[in-house]
Amino acid sequence: MLGIFFKDIDHTVFTVIMTFSWIILSTFNKFYEVYRYTREVYILSLIIRQWFLFTLIVFAFLGIFRIYHIAPKTVLQYTILAFLIIAAFKFALYYFLQKYRVAFGGNYRKTVILGENKKTLALQDFFNKNPEYGYVHKKTFSFKDKKNTDIHKCFKFIMEEGIDEIYCSVSELSNNQIREVVDFADNNLKIVKFLPDNKEIYSKKLKYEYYDYLPILSLRNIPLEEPLNMIAKRTFDIVFSCFVIIFVMSWLTPIVALFIKLESKGPVFFKQSRNGFNYKEFNCYKFRSMMPNKNAHIHQATKNDLRVTKVGRFIRKTSIDELPQFFNVLFGDMSVVGPRPHMVSHTNMYAKKIDKFMVRHFVKPGITGLAQVSGFRGEVETDKDIIGRVKYDIFYIENWSIFLDIKIIVKTFINAIRGEEKAY
Q: Angle between the 310-317 and 250-263 helix axes, to the nearest 10 degrees?
A: 150
* Per-residue pLDDT tens over the stretch 86-103: 999 999 988 888 888 777
Average pLDDT rounded to a whole number, residues 34-53: 86
Q: How confident is the model at residue 133 (pLDDT cuts 50, 70, 90)?
A: confident
Strand partners, 110: 136
Q: How confident is the model at residue 296 (pLDDT cuts 50, 70, 90)?
A: low
Q: Give the per-residue pLDDT at 202.
A: 47
Q: Give the per-residue pLDDT at 98.
A: 82
Q: Give the per-residue pLDDT at 84.
A: 93
Q: How confident is the model at residue 198 (pLDDT cuts 50, 70, 90)?
A: low
Q: How confident is the model at residue 423 (pLDDT cuts 50, 70, 90)?
A: low
1 pLDDT higher than 70: no
For 193-221, b where at least 16 C-beta lie within 10 A, e where not — what string? bbbbeeeeeeeeeeeeeebeebebbbbbe
Distances from the Cα of 382 to the Cα of 183, 385, 386, 390, 395, angstroms: 22, 6, 7, 13, 21
- φ, ψ for residue 318 (rounded to 5)? -95, 0
If you average pLDDT over each of 34-38, 149-153, 229-233, 374-378, which comes out highest?
229-233
Distance in angstroms (rounded) separating the CA atoms of residues 242 and 249? 10
pLDDT above 70 covers a percentage of the chain that reads 91
178 pLDDT higher than 50: yes
Q: Give the per-residue pLDDT at 39.
A: 79
Distance in angstroms (rounded) separating the CA atoms of residues 320 and 382? 26
Beta strands across the sheet bearing 191-195: 135-141, 109-114, 165-169, 191-195, 214-218, 207-211
For residues 366 and 338, the answer to whether their CB atoms sit within 8 Å is yes
| Average pLDDT in the chain | 86
- φ, ψ for residue 208 (rounded to 5)? -80, 135
419 pLDDT higher than 50: yes
What residues contact residue 211 under an 8 Å CB cut-off, 6+ apart? Answer: 37, 123, 126, 133
265 φ/ψ sector (left φ>0, alpha ψ -120 to 50, else beta): beta
Sign of the Cα torsion 78, 84, 89, 93 reads positive
Average pLDDT rounded to a whole number, residues 161-167: 94
Distance in angstroms (rounded) separating the CA atoms of residues 232 and 40? 25
319 pLDDT higher than 70: yes
Q: Give the per-residue pLDDT at 216.
A: 78
For residues 233 and 222, the answer to whether their CB atoms sit within 8 Å is no
Sign of the Cα torsion 145, 151, 154, 156 reads negative
Q: Give the per-residue pLDDT at 203.
A: 45
Please give the residue that has the higher pLDDT: either 305 or 405: 405
Q: What is the 3-class SS of 144-189, one letter each residue?
A: CCCCCCCHHHHHHHHHHHCCCEEEEEHHHCCHHHHHHHHHHHHHCC
Distance in angstroms (rounded) separating the CA atoms of residues 424 and 419? 10
Full set of structural domains in the chain with CATH: 2-104 (no CATH), 109-221 (3.40.50.150), 227-418 (no CATH)
* Per-residue pLDDT tens over the stretch 218-237: 767 788 988 888 989 999 99
* Per-residue pLDDT tens over the stretch 371-415: 999 888 766 777 788 888 999 999 999 899 898 999 999 999 888
If you average pLDDT over each of 94-98, 164-168, 354-358, which comes out highest?
164-168
Sign of the Cα torsion 176, 182, 186, 188 reads positive
